[in-house]
Amino acid sequence: MNDTQKTISLVQELNEHRHAYYNLSAPTITDKEYDKLFDELQRLESETGLILSNSPTQTVGYYPVSSLPKVQHPIPLLSLEKTKQVSELAALLARSQALLMLKLDGLTTKLVYEDGKLMQASTRGDGETGEEITHNLPSYQNVPLSIPYKKRLVITGESFIHTHDFERLKEILLDSNGKKFHNARNLVSGTVRNLNPKTCAERCVHFSPFNVLEGFEESPYSDSRQIRLSLLKDLGFDTCPYVAVEGPAPSEEMVASCIDSLVAEAAKRNLPIDGIVAIFDSFRYSKSCGKTGHHYKDGLAYKFEDEQYETILREIEWTPTRSGEIAPVGIFDTVEIDGCDVSRASLHSPGFIRNLELVPGCRILVSKRNMIIPHIEENLDRGKYQDIIPPLCPCCQSATRIRKRKICYGKIIETVHCDNPACGSQVLRKFEHFASKKAMNIEGLSEATLERFLDLGYLNSFQDLYHLDQYQEKIIRMDGFGKKSYNRLWNSITQSRKTDFVHFLVAMDIPMIGRTKSRVLDAVFSGSLEDFEAAALGNYDFTVLEDFGETLNHNIHAWFSNEENLNLWTELQKELTFHSKEEHTMTREIKENPFMGRTIVATGKLAHFTRDGINTKILELGGKPGSSVTKKTDYLICGEKAGSKLKKAQELNIPILTEEQFLEMIA
């Protein structure tokens, strides 16, 4: 044992003896033996300069504060991009030597040391600004208040409560709502920000560093994260457990094995965790990876499961969509998840509401599934459910009906419907879709403006949009309007008269026909609405097209068999002009490229394209955009957060391209 290890060991041993003497009234050693150990600890602290916050030699009192001052972080304390795929961790580890580290479930904390003394402690806050919590650090269980390193040292780590301590504390402590704490993270967050450090002392808060922001620059190994962490350990810090990954690209099996060993270590040490962090060892390499406004790009946080946040459900809102389905949405007290305020989430169906026994006023757990979609996971106050499915449409007061339909694997799902085609909400949503950018692209037609025009009777059909000039004087006199506003709107309507196959087809709102499918049909029928109409009215089998299944084939034929739809299709074209076939042919001249005639699937978050944007680019190259990976797929373009499609492509040995490689190939 070196002197640092002896100091830490003596602190632990003396505290155990103190606990036995003062709390259990069962001394384990004599006073003389205790005094000898105490003197030895004092000597070591004097020689090494290491004094821990829980050392028996420290008799400093706890001093409460009246407020928590704000602290600016010169080096932003940003988070890392998240993933739930081991394959993404393996891909990152293949780039450079890295560390796999436990992701402790607590509160990120920054410590600043000057001349060997702890000068400031603060929370991460929003990454730019945190709160000062220096007053609470003497009440932590394991933070060095004094260290032998005399230069400036700035470290970040996690404040946390061990799992066994939390299990004990949650039985005797209640949160601000008088309820038991749901997780240790919430408890430690409130504890370290408490104004009275005595509260912190009673809750066994520990600190574990995971990064060095400043310090050890003089070390010959200063570029190594692993070396800097080992130097922290020599100073008496209980660093976060990690595994160094070196050598050639690790397999997913190897990465999974490392994760298992770290999880086992966490269980052994009663550490609260919610994932694993992979981060590059070299600070220089990390810096070269760059950052966004939200996260650094030098690592990944592998999440075991979606984090859940407790809040209160205030309302269940039912809104008719343009298809007539009345969609339920849960409105709840705002919670912050991954830096975003979340206050509403889809409730999907009556069955979902029934299964969770949801009623306004109940406490719920909310997550962001796959870190993207807000979702209500659990109801903490079950047993109060009453059927709250609306018998009448909340918009037009028509009677509602329950529709049952079969989805994948024979599962039956219920939805609530309004069958009134004149329902104001349905009509409004249809006009919104028609005027949207992906359809007729009429700027200036907001939901509020459309609603006013509908209420005034100016609009009964889509064709009426192109005759709003007959109400020019009345519109100009409307609140919020004027001559300039009207002229801007009318110019936008006029410009939308010249359109193309894709925008017109999207505007028709045939079920499951969006921009990608419209572009495929545009290519197949060479921009001819007449040819497409003939195919839809005839026996054309659309399933022969890439990613066109039986349901979509049925939707197209069924839509055109409806007389009202066919009349809209025909009459609306009289209001518009379309690119000629010559113009269409000119715009579709394609240069020879590696993707011509190939089926290409894109997955993950791309830096230069939206999902529609990448599909458009594929079509411009003469390729075929696919939605799923099959044996017919020729390439997979892979962005951040790639999921099951990446794994499928690897299994099928399909060429995988990064976004940068794709751009280089088409340059």
Annotated catalytic sites, by residue? 103
Please answer whether residues 481 and 468 qualify as being in contact, where contact means their C-beta atoms are separated by less than 8 angstroms: no
DSSP 405-443: EE-GGG-EEEEEEE--TT-HHHHHHHHHHHHSTTTT--T
Residue whose tokens read 């406004």: 293
Judged by DSSP in three states, 94 sits in coil
The C-alpha atoms of residue 279 and residue 294 are separated, in whole angstroms, by: 16
Count CB-CB contacts under 10 A for residue 202.
Answer: 13
For residue 328, what are its two tokens?
Answer: 């339920």
The C-alpha atoms of residue 648 and residue 87 are separated, in whole angstroms, by: 11
Q: Pick from 375, 372, 272, 304: which is nearest to 84 by CA?
A: 304
Q: Pick from 389, 388, 347: which is nearest to 364 by CA?
A: 347
500 alpha carbon, distance to own chain's centre: 36
Please report which helix (H) or strand (E) contains residue 396, including its range.
none
The C-alpha atoms of residue 645 and residue 87 are separated, in whole angstroms, by: 11
Please report which helix (H) or strand (E) contains residue 35, including its range.
helix 31-48
Count CB-CB contacts under 10 A for residue 123.
Answer: 22
Please answer whether residues 378 and 366 qualify as being in contact, where contact means their C-beta atoms are separated by less than 8 angstroms: no
Q: Give alpha helix (H) positions in 49-155.
A: 86-93
The C-alpha atoms of residue 235 and residue 52 are separated, in whole angstroms, by: 10
Q: Pick from 413, 418, 353, 414: which is nearest to 392 by CA?
A: 418
293: exposed, middle or buried (Cβ count in 10 Å: 0-12, 13-18, 19+): exposed
The C-alpha atoms of residue 565 and residue 560 are separated, in whole angstroms, by: 6
- Estimate the share of the chain in helix, then strand, then coil, as percent rounded to the nearest 5: 40, 25, 35
**Contacts for 137 with CB less than 8 Å, ≥ 6 apart:** 53, 111, 118, 121, 143, 145
Count CB-CB contacts under 10 A for residue 491.
Answer: 12
The C-alpha atoms of residue 390 and residue 354 are separated, in whole angstroms, by: 13
At residue 233's C-alpha, the angle toward residues 228 and 237, to 5°, is 115
Count CB-CB contacts under 10 A for residue 559.
Answer: 17
The C-alpha atoms of residue 135 and residue 121 are separated, in whole angstroms, by: 8
For 241-255, the three-class secondary structure string (H helix, E strand, C coil) is CEEEECCCCCCHHHH
For 175-230, the three-class secondary structure string (H helix, E strand, C coil) is CCCCCECCCHHHHHHHHHCCCCHHHHHCCCEEEEEEEEEECCCCCCCCCEHHHHHH
